[in-house]
């Protein structure tokens, strides 16, 4: 039995003991204890009612937070296996579960990254089925996204790789991250909260957010040093519905990228 369940059972037991005690007092002293029993019953009802409201409010926020599915796209062009594995570890450890991770091996001279991606996929499947961690250190795995692997010839380039990842993904949102980026385990969750504002189409960068209570305006604190450049960026962002910070990670509504591919065939 967990500590939380044990604690809850103790509370219920205490309530029962008090109730039995009051019933006994009512039996012995008749009307003198009716008032105390009534107060107790009212207190119990209020406790249950307030607890239920808090629970429903929490569940409502939780359901609203997880209404988006997220596809992570990682295009790997180098041969750094350690950075690649660490990046995958940071994605698997996110507090917000990813639906899928698309690993696209582009412009690589050998199959090291491609083969490692396949090993990681097998290990995640094995861990999900039997709890066996395997040889590769993937850290703490919070969720089990589908791992989709694609190898593209060097001559086709990054543009083709990105287009393939976008069209192949099935999530509502697309998270594009380099293979050498380590994300804090709450980073995806923080980014998703930005999309609660329906006008937000794209989030670019590693940023901190705060919502204005009265105007419901999201303020962006970027790492840009040049204040004038930052103000120009803010103005441009308001017009284009794009929030800019540093460009370590990017997250898009999928329909924005699909329209972009169809109309202009541009890369991310």
pLDDT tens for each residue of 97-106: 999 999 998 8
Banded model confidence at residue 245, pLDDT cuts 50, 70, 90:
very low
Residue 255 placed within a domain: yes
Residue 174's pLDDT is what? 92
What's 249's domain CATH number?
3.90.550.10
pLDDT tens for each residue of 29-70: 665 556 666 666 767 767 776 776 666 665 555 545 568 899
Banded model confidence at residue 248, pLDDT cuts 50, 70, 90:
low
Same domain, 56 and 134: no
Q: Which of 65, 83, 98 is the last residue of a domain?
A: 65
Same domain, 131 and 19: no
Same domain, 36 and 88: no
pLDDT tens for each residue of 3-29: 445 445 566 667 667 766 666 666 666
pLDDT tens for each residue of 218-243: 333 333 333 333 333 443 344 344 44
Residue 155's pLDDT is what? 61
Residue 232 placed within a domain: yes
Tally of domains in the chain: 2
Residues in Cβ contact with 218 at an 8 Å cutoff, skipping those fewer than 6 apart: 194, 197, 200, 209, 210, 211, 212, 243
Same domain, 77 and 200: yes
Find the largest Cα–Cα distance for the chain.
Answer: 93
Question: Looking at the predicted structure, is the pLDDT value of residue 181 above 50?
Answer: yes
Residue 120's pLDDT is what? 93
pLDDT tens for each residue of 191-204: 888 887 777 788 77
- Which phi and psi (to 5°) does residue 56 adopt? -65, -35
Same domain, 183 and 56: no
Residue 193 placed within a domain: yes
Task: Report, as an integer, the average pLDDT of 120-143.
Answer: 88
| Structural contact between residues 95 and 62, judged by C-beta atoms closer than 8 angstroms | no
Same domain, 93 and 194: yes
Same domain, 11 and 132: no
How many other C-beta atoms lie within 10 A of the C-beta of residue 188? 24
Q: What is the C-alpha to C-alpha distance for residues 150 and 113, in angstroms, rounded to an integer?
A: 11
Q: What is the C-alpha to C-alpha distance for residues 50 and 58, in angstroms, rounded to an integer?
A: 12
Same domain, 132 and 55: no
> Distance of alpha carbon 11 from its chain centroid, rounded?
34
Residue 24's pLDDT is what? 67
Residues in Cβ contact with 259 at an 8 Å cutoff, skipping those fewer than 6 apart: none
Same domain, 78 and 33: no
Residue 268 placed within a domain: no
The full 3-state SS of the chain, as one line of letters, equals CCHHHHHHHHHHHHHHHHHHHHHHHHHHHHHHHHHHHHHHHHHHHHHHHHHHHHHHHHHHHHHHHCCCCEEEEEEECCCCHHHHHHHHHHHHCCCCCCCEEEEEEECCCCCHHHHHHHHHHHHHHHHHHHCCCCCCCCCCCCCCCEEEEEEECHHHHHHHHHHHHHHHCCCCEEEECCCCCCCCCCHHHHHHHHCCCCCCCEEECCCEEEECCCCCCEEEECCCCCHHHHHHHHHHHHHHCEEECCCCCEEEEHHHHHHHHHHCCCCC
Residue 36's pLDDT is what? 64
Same domain, 107 and 151: yes
User: In terms of residue numbers, what domain contains 47?
Assistant: 3-65
Residue 22's pLDDT is what? 66
């Amino acid at each position: 039995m967990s500590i939380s369940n044990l604690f809850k059972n103790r509370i219920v037991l205490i309530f029962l003991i008090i109730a039995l005690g009051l019933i006994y007092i009512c039996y012995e002293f008749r009307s003198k204890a009716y008032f105390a029993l009534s107060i107790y019953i009212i207190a119990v009802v209020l406790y249950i009612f307030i607890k239920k409201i808090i629970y429903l409010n929490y569940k409502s926020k939780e359901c609203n937070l997880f209404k988006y599915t997220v596809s992570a796209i990682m295009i790997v062009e180098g041969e750094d296996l350690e950075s690649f594995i660490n990046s995958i570890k940071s994605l698997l450890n996110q507090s917000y579960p990813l639906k899928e991770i698309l690993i696209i091996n582009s412009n690589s001279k050998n199959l090291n990254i491609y083969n490692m991606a396949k090993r990681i996929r097998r290990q995640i499947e094995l861990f999900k089925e039997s709890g066996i961690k395997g040889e590769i250190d993937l850290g703490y795995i919070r969720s089990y996204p589908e791992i989709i692997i694609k190898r593209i010839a060097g001559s086709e380039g990054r543009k083709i790789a990105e287009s393939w990842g976008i069209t192949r993904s099935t999530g509502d949102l697309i998270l594009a991250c380099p293979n050498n980026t380590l994300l804090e385990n709450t980073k995806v969750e923080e980014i998703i909260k930005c999309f609660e504002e329906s006008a937000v189409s794209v989030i670019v960068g590693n940023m901190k957010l705060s919502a204005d209570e009265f105007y419901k305006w999201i303020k962006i604190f970027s790492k840009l040093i040049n204040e004038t450049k930052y103000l120009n960026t803010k103005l441009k962002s308001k017009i284009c519905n794009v929030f800019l910070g540093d460009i370590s990670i990017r997250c898009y509504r999928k329909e924005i990228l699909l329209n972009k591919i169809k109309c202009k065939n541009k890369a991310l």
